[in-house]
């Protein structure tokens, strides 16, 4: 098997990641901070529970599949604590290499970062944070799907090619559902599926829409 050619000049090539749509990012950040400040001032700090998650994620056309990471906090809402606010950040990056000859190869890369504000409802279980739950909310995601052709002279990025030079940053809906298993004291292990979408992107063929941007299945440890 011929390994992908990786010239030393490739590391020196400047890569433009995603140009943030500043006004949308600022708007969502203000909403996120306002909600956080409101809950913090209303409820005692002891009710906040941080969590970290490890997932297997797919992009919209399932071309990229690999591990992704998430982290956030949960906070119960209401007297019965059946509702929980669960804001989180997620990160998913996957690269794929193809070798066409000893001197030519290709690198495809998908990169996604999102901030999500989820509200989950516990549908079963007597104790808060235990049993089945389902929920959703709103999130901000910026992502890119890019491709480079790598030769002895360096790397050339694809421009305006369908599914090979896509960048987007937008507000989207979020969804998640799963089951929370009790651990010691107030800790729990959550097994869940989550998604963010839809989104609209532009390429060489015009504007198109995908229902789901990233689909993930994994676990969370709630501390």
Q: Given this model, what pLDDT does residue 128 score? A: 73
The model's confidence at residue 134, banded by pLDDT at 50, 70 and 90, is: very high
| Least confidently predicted of 74-78, 132-136, 138-142 | 74-78
Joined together, the tokens standing for residue 68 give: 């992704």
List helix spans (H) across the chain.
22-42
* Chain segment 191-205, per-residue pLDDT in tens: 999 999 998 877 667
176/66 Cα distance (integer angstroms) = 19
3-state helix, strand, coil in the chain (%, to 5): 15, 60, 25
pLDDT value, residue 31: 54
Longest dimension (CA), the chain: 66
- Least confident interval from 82-86, 129-133, 156-160: 156-160
pLDDT at 166: 78
Mean of the per-residue pLDDT values of the chain: 79
Q: What percentage of the chain has pLDDT greater than the value 70?
A: 74
- Domains in the chain: ranges and CATH: 8-44+52-222 (2.40.160)
Alpha carbon distance 154, 188 (integer Å): 49
Q: Specify the pLDDT at position 163.
A: 56
Average pLDDT for 98-102: 83
62/211 Cα distance (integer angstroms): 13
Residue 11 carries which DSSP code?
G
Report DSSP state, residue 47.
G
Which of 29, 178, 193 is CA-nearest to residue 116? 29
Residue 67: pLDDT over 90: yes
């Amino acid at each position: 098997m011929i390994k992908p050619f990786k010239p030393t000049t490739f590391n020196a090539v400047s890569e433009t990641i995603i140009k943030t749509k500043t006004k949308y990012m600022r708007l969502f950040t203000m909403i996120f901070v306002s909600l956080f400040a409101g809950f913090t001032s209303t409820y005692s700090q002891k009710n906040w529970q941080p969590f970290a998650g490890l997932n297997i994620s797919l992009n919209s056309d399932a071309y990229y599949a690999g591990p992704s990471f998430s982290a956030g906090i949960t906070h119960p809402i209401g007297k019965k604590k059946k509702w929980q606010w669960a804001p989180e950040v997620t990160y998913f990056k996957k690269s794929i290499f193809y070798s066409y000859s000893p001197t030519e190869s290709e690198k495809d890369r998908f990169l996604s970062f999102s901030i999500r504000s989820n509200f989950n409802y516990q549908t079963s279980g007597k104790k808060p944070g235990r049993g089945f739950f389902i929920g959703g909310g709103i999130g901000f995601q910026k992502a890119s799907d890019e491709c480079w052709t790598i030769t002895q002279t360096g790397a050339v990025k694809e421009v305006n090619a369908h599914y090979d030079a896509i960048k987007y940053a937008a507000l989207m809906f979020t969804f998640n559902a799963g089951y929370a298993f009790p651990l010691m004291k107030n800790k729990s292990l959550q097994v869940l599926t989550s998604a963010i979408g839809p989104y609209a992107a532009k390429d060489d063929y015009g504007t198109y829409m995908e229902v789901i941007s990233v689909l993930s299945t994994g676990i969370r440890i709630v501390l």
